[in-house]
Amino acid sequence: MDCPDACSLLIDVTDGKGSRLRGNPAHPVTRGFLCGKVARYLEREYEPSRLLYPQKRIGAKGEGRFERISWDEALDTIAENLKRASEEYGPESVLPYSYAGTMGLLNGSGMDRRFFHRLGASRLDRTICSAAGGAALEASFGARYGTEPEQFAQSRLILAWGANILGTNVHLWPFVVEARRRGARFYTIDPVKNRTGRLADRHFAPYAGSDLALALGLAHVIFAERLYDADYVERYTSGVEEYRSLASQYAPERVESLTGIGRDDIVLLAREYATTKPACIRVNYGVQRSERGGAAVRAIAALAALTGSWRDVGGGLSLSTSGAFALNTAALEMPELQLRSPLGRMARVLNMVELGKALTEVSDPPVKALVVYNSNPAAVAPRQELVRKGLARDDLFTVVLEQFQTDTADFADILLPVTTFLEHTDLYRSYGHYFLQISRPVLPAPGETKSNLEAFRLLAHRMGFQEPCFDDTEDDMIRALLGGSDPFLQGITLERLDREHFVRLNVSPPGEPFLPFAKGGFGTASGRFEFGADSLAYTPPAESRLGRPELRSKYPLELISSKNDDSMNSTFGYRPDANRQTSVLHLHPEDAAPRNISDGDLVRVVNRRGACRLRASVPASPEQAMVRPGVVRAPSTGWRKMSAYGEHINSLTSDGLTDIGGGPVFYSCLVEVEKCGD
């Protein structure tokens, strides 16, 4: 699934049935244990409501009434409709919509990409998760590398900055525990005091979306007290004078008013961070889901460059490691097929965050056919009311490839049943460590399920696409991926992967730590770390407590709908326990009292985009509160149709975009909350 940990799993199979799933003790990051979600994955595998046969819709869109059909009929209907849309409106009237239901490369961005490129379909900008942070790393580092998880054990100070390690990245935790056993301190910086924050030595709670100001404030102190590594900065960075002058405007007093973190704490944190060696920052994607999210990541990354922390084993910073997997994705995806499509050029690009607009406003051509796989946009995309309005269009032909009858599946014209990762071959990279993995099918595909890869192969044949690439086997495609010349992949072959299952990239010699930027080596045009001060001046998000006055007077609370610890986006939305967990709103007692809200009350969260009813969770005392006054938190996210009132938190979130990268601003979201029942 979509997780930085990308675990190595062992399964016991008895008479063709999986009986036990566990973490592989031999994998240096999985280390023999699983999170609560995957430990229960066999329940999902054999869940009676799993989709097993192709179906066509017989009720209204969204209603969820379907009838079984054959694969032949399903494929004929799809091919006919895609051809018609393509002939009448041009192939760009077809839009694929996918994200990371599986992170497997073949089933996530393989035959599907070839298919849509050959068709000339609109391209999808897959921004919904990490686009702002990714753009920030590209601009600052020129590469998506980060500190190896194993090295955290050697840190003396670990900052979890917008990183709920125990919730969304639990395989980092044993390394944190080991570091603390050796005397390290562990701090969290997060508007929400989640499981991880509760176990921290200190928790700092900035206002939502104010991390840029906080990072500049820390830099202010580090410059003022000359705590930076002048040698590292001189040798390996670019733009420090502009950055110094920007930081000089962020004195602790001002930063206190922008972030809510006390000036003395800012000074102490800056000193401690700059003088403790090694110090490591685990920043996760929560930080960049706000209006200034890209700049925030750049300013946080600047701290590691300023202090020269990249020199140290157990230093540096980790947001993503995905850039080290220099696979030949062009050979997998074959973008050049677009030139052979009726379009004869590269197709237009639509941003997945703006799906609602794509389905209701975009013309020239309008979207007439939508093919969804590895994603559940009717639940996970922002501005849900508009998304649903678009999905309900009678003149839109929708195909959904799914394992389960999700909210999105209910809008399908044709619904195709697909396999799980236990039932098909795939190649997996990771965004949290440096091991590449292969996985072969260990369980039979139930009913008439097929992998995404097979489904798109059959569709390509139905469309009459003649290119031999549509007959490539899974192994052909893996070989193509491994076929580049990147040194990190040297010696990694399909045969070796089949033998060893997981293989560490050649990022450093065996047994030696990977220090990506110890001696510079940044991938930017200058080869240096780019501070980028000209884009880092802080203004509070429009939707925040210091934002647009007309908004915050009506909607004074900052909503953070961050991930639920025991589910995976909407993937487990059919589970009643997951649904209970995602039907809660955490409030501070000071916000609850004037609204006459008590623990367990039914409340309505509302803003100008929509509304959603949830159960209030209000602790007895302020010390136990998960959030500071002015912040509410909704663990996310479930299925809309499973919620008691058929409502969803993403009716409130905005389809606005981040400062860079075109990412979503899920956590810049002002709301009001009112009691609406006991």
Count of residues interacting with ligand MGD (CB under 6 A): 60
The C-alpha atoms of residue 659 and residue 649 are separated, in whole angstroms, by: 23
**Interface with ligand MGD, residue 567, by CB under 6 A:** yes
Contacts (CB under 6 A) with ligand MGD, residues 135-194: 161-164, 167-168, 189-192, 194
Least distance between ligand MGD and beta carbon 566 (Å) = 6
Q: Which of 562, 583, 607, 654 binds ligand MGD (CB under 6 A)?
A: 562
Scanning the structure block, which residue is given the tokens 């990190």? 488
**Interface with Mo ion, residue 103, by CB under 5 A:** no
In terms of Cα–Cα distance, which of 207, 106, 157 is closest to 429?
A: 106
**Interface with ligand MGD, residue 96, by CB under 6 A:** no
Q: In this structure, are residues 289 and 667 in contact, taking their beta carbons and an 8 Å threshold? A: yes
**Interface with ligand MGD, residue 112, by CB under 6 A:** no
Least distance between ligand MGD and beta carbon 258 (Å) = 12
**Interface with ligand MGD, residue 320, by CB under 6 A:** no
Q: Residue 48: left (phi > 0), alpha (psi -120 to 50), or beta?
A: alpha
Q: How far is CA 289 from CA 82, 208, 297, 539, in A?
A: 34, 10, 10, 15
**Interface with ligand MGD, residue 285, by CB under 6 A:** yes
Q: In this structure, are residues 261 and 214 in contact, taking their beta carbons and an 8 Å threshold? A: yes
Query: Could you tell me whether strands 202-204 and 185-189 are parallel, antiparallel, or unpaired per DSSP bridges?
Result: parallel
Q: Which of 229, 256, 402, 655 binds ligand MGD (CB under 6 A)?
A: 402
**Interface with ligand MGD, residue 651, by CB under 6 A:** no
**Interface with ligand MGD, residue 662, by CB under 6 A:** no
Compute, in degrees rounded to 10, the torsion defined by CA atoms 97, 131, 148, 561. -80
**Interface with ligand MGD, residue 405, by CB under 6 A:** no
Least distance between ligand MGD and beta carbon 521 (Å) = 27
- Three-state secondary structure of 276-326: CCCEEEEECHHHHCCCCHHHHHHHHHHHHHHCCHHHCCCCCEECCCHHHCC
Q: What phi and psi, each to the nearest 5 degrees, are found at residue 350?
A: -115, 140
Q: In this structure, are residues 127 and 99 in contact, taking their beta carbons and an 8 Å threshold? A: no
584 contacts: CB under 8 Å, gap ≥ 6: 614, 615, 616, 617, 634, 635
The DSSP bridge partners found for residue 349 are 123
Q: Looking at beta carbons only, is 90 or 134 nearer to Mo ion?
A: 134
Contacts (CB under 6 A) with ligand MGD, residues 236-275: none
**Interface with Mo ion, residue 129, by CB under 5 A:** yes
526 contacts: CB under 8 Å, gap ≥ 6: 238
Q: Looking at beta carbons only, is 196 or 425 nearer to Mo ion?
A: 196
Q: Which of 77, 653, 654, 658 binds ligand MGD (CB under 6 A)?
A: 653
Per-residue tokens: 232: 């590292």
Q: Looking at beta carbons only, is 299 or 343 nearer to ligand MGD?
A: 299
Q: In this structure, are residues 618 and 359 in contact, taking their beta carbons and an 8 Å threshold? A: no
Least distance between ligand MGD and beta carbon 567 (Å) = 6
**Interface with ligand MGD, residue 452, by CB under 6 A:** yes
Contacts (CB under 6 A) with ligand MGD, residues 494-523: none
**Interface with Mo ion, residue 319, by CB under 5 A:** no
- Residue span binding ligand MGD (CB under 6 A) among the ranges 262-270, 281-289, 574-582, 588-596: 281-289
Interface residue list for ligand MGD (CB under 6 A): 2-3, 99-102, 107, 128-129, 161-164, 167-168, 189-192, 194, 206, 208-209, 211, 284-287, 290, 373-376, 379-380, 401-404, 406, 418, 452, 560-565, 567-571, 636-637, 649-650, 653, 666-667
Interface residue list for Mo ion (CB under 5 A): 129
